[in-house]
Amino acid sequence: MNTNKHVMLLGGDERYLHVIDSLAKAGIRISLIGYEQLSFNEPNIQHVGLDNADFSSLRAIILPVAGTDLKGKIEVTYSDKQVYLTEQLVSCTPKQCVIYSGTANQYLQQIADVTDRKLVKLFARDDIAIYNSIPTAEGTLKLAIEQSDETIHGANVCVLGFGRVGITVARVFSAVGANVSVAARSSAAVARITEMGFHAIPLNQLEKAIGQMTICINTIPSQVVDQSIISAMSPSVLLIDLASKPGGTDFDFALKRGISTFHALGLPGKTAPKSAGKIIATVLLDLLQST
């Protein structure tokens, strides 16, 4: 690893402590903003402020998983100060500086476009998404156990979506003895669901089948759990939505129906921050090595 590489981390949760550790051990010079409450012994880690930071030598800006909000505010866990990413700050970086974020909203994308900086959305990558599906599925199982008054073994569990997260969730719940059904749109997904030994439900037939389910887990990032689906559910169902904001559930209507609903965001960082941090660090190191 080139020890002259200089990156800046702006904010982040416990996962990013493991990112910092991995990057520092690789000899990368790290500037930290939003970590004032912590101390680091490594000589290549430095606390800086937005007013005195050296942006001119940065090879990368590393943002938290959520990136920024729509006003540029960044989530910080280890500081009492508010941190904002602005177009002016990014324009002070070299043209080859890359912005790494877990996800990106319109505000962050616009900054990257206007400043002509490359923006890498880490959680859009297959490798991170698949690795992260493991702690996500384990965290979902933990939540289901805590919120259920019966065993998961023998429960009728319906997973909505058969993408990178849905596949792992279905496997984990099946492994502990649940009767797993998976709802998906495409005929190819329905065929693969059947081949893997799960009960396949075409998504357009979900309303007919959902009433028999004890637990419903949504992974589809569009509102598929609408009023008609919720109305067909048993009032005792446990509904867990794993889709990123705003989720795939009509939460207000579910609340009116008295259904236990959880929008379980950021499970990797909550249930296995060390593993989740190592996943991010491994991919970041690989990307930094190639630039």
What is the distance between the alpha carbons of residues 258 and 105, in angstroms, rounded to a whole number? 32
| Alpha carbon separation from 103 to 111, 183, 193, 265 (Å, rounded) | 14, 26, 28, 13
CB 20 within 8 A of CB 32: yes
Q: Is the per-residue pLDDT at 37 higher than 90?
A: yes
The position carrying tokens 């941190």 is 83
- According to DSSP, the β-strands at 60-62 and 73-74 are unpaired
What would you report as the CA-atom Rg of the chain, rounded to the nearest whole angstrom?
Answer: 21
Closest CA to 161 of 244, 45, 275: 244
What is the distance between the alpha carbons of residues 159 and 13, in angstroms, rounded to a whole number? 29
Q: Is the per-residue pLDDT at 219 higher than 80?
A: yes
pLDDT tens track for 63-117: 999 899 999 999 999 999 999 999 999 999 999 999 999 999 999 999 999 999 9
Beta bridge partners of 121: 101
The position carrying tokens 């169902």 is 237
In the prediction, which pLDDT does 188 show?
Answer: 96
Question: Three-class SS of residue 83?
Answer: strand
Compute how many other C-beta atoms are within 10 angstroms of the C-beta atom of residue 263.
17
Closest CA to 32 of 23, 19, 45, 43: 45
CB 154 within 8 A of CB 178: yes
Q: What percent of the chain has pLDDT over 70?
A: 99
Which sign does the torsion angle of CA 177, 149, 142, 156 carry?
A: positive
pLDDT tens track for 185-196: 999 999 999 999
Q: Is the per-residue pLDDT at 51 higher than 90?
A: no
pLDDT band at 52 (very low <50, low <70, confident <90, very high): confident
pLDDT tens track for 101-157: 999 999 999 999 999 999 999 999 999 999 999 999 999 999 999 999 999 999 999
What is the distance between the alpha carbons of residues 9 and 85, in angstroms, rounded to a whole number? 11
pLDDT band at 212 (very low <50, low <70, confident <90, very high): very high
CB 59 within 8 A of CB 34: no
Q: Walk me through the domains of the chain, giving residue ranges and CATH numbers.
A: 6-124 (3.40.50.720), 128-269 (3.40.50.720)
Note the helical H segments in the chain.
15-25, 87-91, 106-115, 126-147, 164-175, 187-195, 206-209, 227-232, 251-256, 267-271, 273-289
What is the distance between the alpha carbons of residues 190 and 101, in angstroms, rounded to a whole number? 33
pLDDT tens track for 169-182: 999 999 999 999 99
pLDDT band at 3 (very low <50, low <70, confident <90, very high): low
Beta bridge partners of 216: 158, 239
